[in-house]
Every structure is written in C-alpha cells, then in structure tokens.
Amino acid sequence: MPLLGGFIADAYLGRFSTVLISTIIYLMGLILLMMSWFVPALKACENEICTEPRKVHELVFFLAIYLISIGTGGHKPSLESFGADQFDEDHHEERKQKMSYFNWWNFALCSGLLFGVTVVVYVQDHVNWGASYIILTAVMAVSLVIFVTGRPCYRYRGATGSPLTPLLQVLVAAIRKRNLPYPSSPDQLYEVPKTEKTQGRLLCHTNKLKFLDKAAVFEDKNNPTAEKQNLWRLATVTKVEELKLVLNVIPIWLATLPFGICVAQGTTFFIKQSVTMNRKIGHGFVIPPASIFGIAAIGMIISVTIYEKFVVPMLRNTTGNERGLNLLRRIGIGMSFTMATMVVAALVEKKRLGVVENDPKKGADSMSVFWLAPQYLIIGFGDGFALVGLQEYFYDQVPDSMRSLGIALYLSVIGASNFLSSWLITVVDKVTTTSPGGHGWFGKDLNSSRLDKFYWLLAAISSLNMFVYVFLARRYTYKNVQRMAVADCHEGDDDAVV
C-alpha cells in the first residue's frame, strides 16, 4: 500500500493532501474498530457464550482493518517525506538540519512504538481490546489536529505528474537512438540552460550506464527546436541521470533484503520465544510477550541519540562529510549489527533448548525472558544505523519528483523481507523434514524445533550478502546536483555539490 500511496502523493495529490486524506481514512478505520467492540449491534456475539462471530461483526471488523491499511499506505511515505521537504537543500544550515531530521524522526517513531508495545499492549491484556482501541483512536485524532494546526507554517511542493513517465520517455528515446554515435564530449548532450526556469534541480552527468546517454543526443543538430518538443525522442541530461538513479537503487534494494529478513525475526520468532520463558517481575507482575520488543525500541533510541549528538559532530570534523558517514556506509554498519544479532540469538536459543532438555516438565519457564534482551538491544542499535540510513538513502537518492515513492521503497524492503522470511521458513522446513534424519527445524512448538540452526543460517546468509553489499556500495555513484554551472560538474561522494 505505501508504494501506491507514495505514487499518488508524488503524481497527483501532493504530500500534504495525501497525509491529510490518509490520516482521516486511518482514523475512520480506528473508529469502526472501536465501534465493533462497543456498539451492541456490531459486537461479535450477543452474549458471552459464542461459537462463531456474527457476519455484521466480521464485515465491520475487516472493513476497519482494510481502511487502516489504506490509511497507512498514504500516511507512512507521505508524512516522512513531507517533513523532510520543510528543509531547503540549497541552504547550508538547513541542509545539515535535514540530515538530523531523519534521526529525530526515528527517535519519535521508536518512542511511539515503545508506548504501543508497553502501555497499549498492557491495556489489551489486562483491561480489554476495546480500551486499547479508545487510546489508539484518541492518539490519532490528536495527531490529526496537531498536523492541521501547523498548516500555515508548512512549505509545500506541488505534485508534478507521474514520476514514472519521464523515466519511460528516456528509455524509449535511448532505444530509438541506440545506433547514433556517442558525442566526443558530454557537453554536447542536451540540457536545459540554468537560466531557464525548471521544475526541479539539475543533475550532473555521470559516466555510468552510458547507453542511456543516447536519449540526450541530437538526431538533427541543424533543427533542434522541433526535436526538443518531443519528449519521447529527446531527453535532458537531468532526466537521463534520474533514470540512472532509479536503476542504481535497485541493486541496493535487493542487497538489503537479507537484512530485512533478520529484522523480521524480532516481531515473530523472538516474541514466540518470550512466550515460553519466565516473564514475571516483582510480586506477580507478568510482562506481556509483545512488550519485550520494547527493548529493541530502547536500543534504537539510544543508538540514534548517540549517533546524532556525538558520532556525527566528531566524524564531520575528521571526514569532512556533512553526514559524518555517507549513507551506504551507515547502512552497512547497521547490517553488521544484524549479523551479530543472529549469532547471539542462536546462542541464547541453544541455551533455552538445553534448559528444556534438562527439565522437560517445567520447560524454559525457569529461564528469564531477559535472556532475550541482548539480541533485542543489538538489533535496536543496528536499526539506528541501517533503518535510518535506508530511509534517508531512498529519500535522497531518487529523483526529487518521486521522494514519497522513495520512502515507500524503503518500506517495501521491510514488507518484501517479511514475505521472503515466510518463504524461507517454508523451504527450510521442507528441506530439513525430507532430508536424512527426518526431523525438521520447525516442530509443533518451539521446544521441539531447532530455531538456533535457523538463526545460524540467517547469520551465514547475512555474512555472504555483506560481501555483495560492500561490492555494490564501493561502486555506487551518489546523486550529484548542479549548484553553479554545468561545466563545473564532477563525480563526487555522498552529497557532492559544486
């Protein structure tokens, strides 16, 4: 859904309108969800004894879930990109503030997540689901009021039409002119003069994917005016470079999927492990299983704060990079944390299975749930590098006209990785069940499973993928924006500007 929502925001509605409409849809879904619990005619059952829910309850419940899903699709990519749009990239101080924005965005996001997996989950477990729906609906309603209140202060970037059409035009023009000779100098390629008013920033020419440059070659140099009017036959250097940006993003997107598969375990198997362990604190207080995920949120909050307040200022002085670390290096550091998470998780699970083997009747109930804390903290630290870096990367390294779609691409890494995680579990289960020995890694419950082996497999996959990622990152060319004149363009590092 974020891919669709991001496209609509960039192409047609604009980011502010998309956030506003999607938040209202989201709020409608929450209100319906609340009504399905409290309104007598919409309740699952007329009395406490219930064999199956009434059809009207199912209809309202699933309609609410789908409305929340649609609202999320527009809200998530558009709100983050709209917030980043408030900073002027041509202003030195605002550009530096924008780099901090993604850190503090995730600080706030994890604070909300921590509230959700502790307070809201506790209310669900110890009061009822209806009470938690009231909290969620109230929070969303207040956030909508705050967002609308700031309307006079915002900077707005209007929708510019489909961002995919210009990319297709470049590809068609390059194919049509594939047999034309390449010009002796890139200066002979077509570009809009900086003196002309353009909708976006101009990009510098790069030497990668040179076959696409044919789209900017004049077929008839003696009559260029007519050719310039046909966007399917002649593209500017900037449009060509925008297509190169999108093509360069695809290998990085693929290389981050194994990282996303590891992250997916934090909300699935890690929590299932916590269900089997001792969650008691003090005099009878029992931690809800989902609340253990709050440790990862705490880890990310700590990681982002240390990075923003201490690491970035220090690295700015030593490396000269405004970000401290360039984007892909930051993501790579976070991915290495994830490998460590899988190793620690495998060792802890081996320990848990040993406890179960020594006392099958009591199981892992004698083992504190806080044995899971190290792996949650490590993955939280890694997310502070990788997830924040991915958000900034997909926002910054796509064409300016598709930045909501860029954030949606980041979200699609997490979504696609969850699908791949499920597929990988199915494959591993089939292979280990049919292999000699016959005992699969995934049994009827965790105590008859071998999750530790699965975690070792993920650690191995992540390690091998790291070599691929480093190979791609070392050869990556960052977006290079013209600041003064086309002739001054040069290929540079992250955020290279002239």
457 within 8 A of 428, measured Cβ to Cβ: yes
Work out the burial of residue 266: count CB atoms within 10 Å of its CB; fewer than 13 is exposed, 13-18 middle, 19 or more buried. Answer: buried
| Predicted local confidence at residue 141, as pLDDT | 95
Distance CA 89, CA 315 (A): 21
Q: Which two tokens stand for residue 67?
A: 């409305």
pTM: 0.85
| Predicted local confidence at residue 288, as pLDDT | 85
The model's pLDDT over 205-258, given as tens digits with 9 standing for 90+, comes to 888 888 888 888 887 766 666 566 678 888 888 898 889 999 999 999 999 999
What radius of gyration do the chain's Cα atoms show?
A: 26
470 within 8 A of 252, measured Cβ to Cβ: no
Distances (CA, A) of 336 to 99, 371, 380: 22, 21, 12
Distance CA 77, CA 1 (A): 10
What CATH number has the domain spanning 256-498?
A: 1.20.1250.20
| Predicted local confidence at residue 492, as pLDDT | 47
| Predicted local confidence at residue 496, as pLDDT | 41
The model's pLDDT over 32-59, given as tens digits with 9 standing for 90+, comes to 999 988 888 888 777 767 777 788 888 9
| Predicted local confidence at residue 484, as pLDDT | 52
Backbone angles phi, psi at 89, to 5 degrees: -70, -15
Query: Phi-psi region for residue 445, left (φ > 0), alpha (ψ -120 to 50) or beta?
Result: beta
212 within 8 A of 243, measured Cβ to Cβ: yes
- Give the alpha-carbon dihedral of 489, 490, 495, 498, to 10 degrees: -40
Domain chopping of the chain, boundaries: 1-159, 164-243, 256-498
| Predicted local confidence at residue 490, as pLDDT | 52
Distance CA 38, CA 104 (A): 37
Contacts 24+ apart (CB under 8 A), 102-109: 102/388, 102/391, 102/392, 102/395, 103/304, 103/307, 103/308, 103/388, 104/304, 104/308, 105/80, 105/391, 106/300, 106/304, 106/384, 106/387, 106/388, 106/391, 107/301, 107/304, 107/305
| Predicted local confidence at residue 485, as pLDDT | 45
* Token pair 């901090």: residue: 100
The one-letter code for the residue type at 462 is: S
Residues of 14-50 as b/e, b for ≥16 C-beta within 10 angstroms?
bbbbbbbbbbbbbbbbbbbbbbbbeeeebbeeeeeee
Give me the tens of pLDDT residue by residue for the chain, a chain 498 residues long. Answer: 888 888 898 888 889 999 999 999 999 999 999 998 888 888 877 776 777 778 888 899 999 999 999 999 999 889 988 988 888 877 778 888 888 888 888 899 999 989 998 889 889 888 888 899 999 999 999 999 999 999 999 888 888 788 888 889 889 988 988 888 888 777 878 777 765 656 668 888 888 888 888 888 887 766 666 566 678 888 888 898 889 999 999 999 999 999 999 999 988 888 888 888 888 887 778 888 888 888 999 999 999 999 888 888 888 888 777 777 888 999 999 999 999 999 999 999 999 988 888 877 777 778 888 999 999 999 999 988 998 899 989 988 888 888 888 889 989 998 899 999 999 999 998 888 876 666 788 888 888 888 899 999 999 999 999 999 999 999 998 888 876 544 456 544 454 432
Handedness of CA 264, 266, 272, 273 (dihedral sign): positive
**Closest residue by Cα to residue 192 from 201, 181, 184, 183:** 201
| Predicted local confidence at residue 332, as pLDDT | 93
Q: How far is CA 30 from the centre of its chain?
A: 23
Residue 80 parent element (H or E): helix 55-84
Collect all residues with Cβ–Cβ distance below 8 Å to 187 and sequence separation of at least 6: 486, 487
- How many Cβ atoms sit within 10 Å of the Cβ of residue 449? 20
| Predicted local confidence at residue 486, as pLDDT | 44
| Predicted local confidence at residue 136, as pLDDT | 93
The model's pLDDT over 471-491, given as tens digits with 9 standing for 90+, comes to 999 999 888 887 654 445 654
Write the DSSP symbol of residue 151. Answer: G
**Closest residue by Cα to residue 365 from 284, 278, 448:** 278
| Predicted local confidence at residue 227, as pLDDT | 64
336 within 8 A of 438, measured Cβ to Cβ: no
Q: How far is CA 274 from the centre of its chain?
A: 26
Strand blocks (E) in 348-483: none
